């Protein structure tokens, strides 16, 4: 049994669980830029104690890399904290950002975003 079989992805315009990754139009190797991650970009997700987005992880996989690099982890608090976050990251090479988000009822979701230098 492998976790990859259970991490869901979908078009975020039709699915409220997908973590949408936004970066500036122009980014440079070795220069820090903001990565905004948001669940419920188009269709908002509930944020109650019974049903909420609990956390995000952010990774990068360099095009010539062998291993995922974990860039950060954020834990939210239901009701008071919304499922969106900004990380400020510095990459050396082109690759793909991967974000995962966890809903306490609907499990693990992911999306990815190219970063090209």
Active site residue 51: yes
Site string for a second copy, 41-80 (x = CB under 8 A): --------xx---xx---xxx----xxxxxxxxxxxx-xx
Report how far residue 112's alpha carbon sits from residue 106's, in angstroms, rounded to the nearest whole number: 19
- Give the number of residues in contact with a second copy, rule: CB under 8 A: 53
Candidates 13, 24, 29, 88; binder of a second copy (CB under 8 A) is: 88
Please classify residue 92 by burial: count the beta carbons closer than 10 Å to its beta carbon, then call 0-12 exposed, 13-18 middle and 19+ buried: exposed
Question: Residues 6 or more apart from 62 whose CB is under 8 A from it?
Answer: 69, 91, 92, 93, 94, 95
Q: Which residues bind a second copy (CB under 8 A)?
A: 1-7, 9, 32, 36, 49-50, 54-55, 59-61, 66-77, 79-82, 84-91, 96, 98, 100, 102-108, 110, 112
């Amino acid at each position: 049994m492998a976790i990859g079989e259970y991490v869901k992805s979908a078009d975020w315009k039709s699915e409220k669980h997908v973590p949408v990754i936004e970066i500036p139009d122009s980014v440079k190797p070795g220069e820090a830029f903001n990565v905004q991650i948001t669940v419920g970009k188009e269709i908002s997700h509930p944020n109650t104690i019974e049903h909420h987005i609990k956390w995000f992880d952010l990774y990068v996989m360099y095009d010539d890399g062998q291993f995922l690099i974990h860039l950060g982890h954020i834990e939210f608090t239901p009701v008071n904290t919304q499922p969106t976050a900004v990380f400020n990251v510095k990459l050396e090479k082109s690759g793909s950002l991967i974000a995962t988000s966890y809903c306490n009822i609907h499990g693990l979701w992911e999306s990815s975003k190219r970063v090209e230098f």
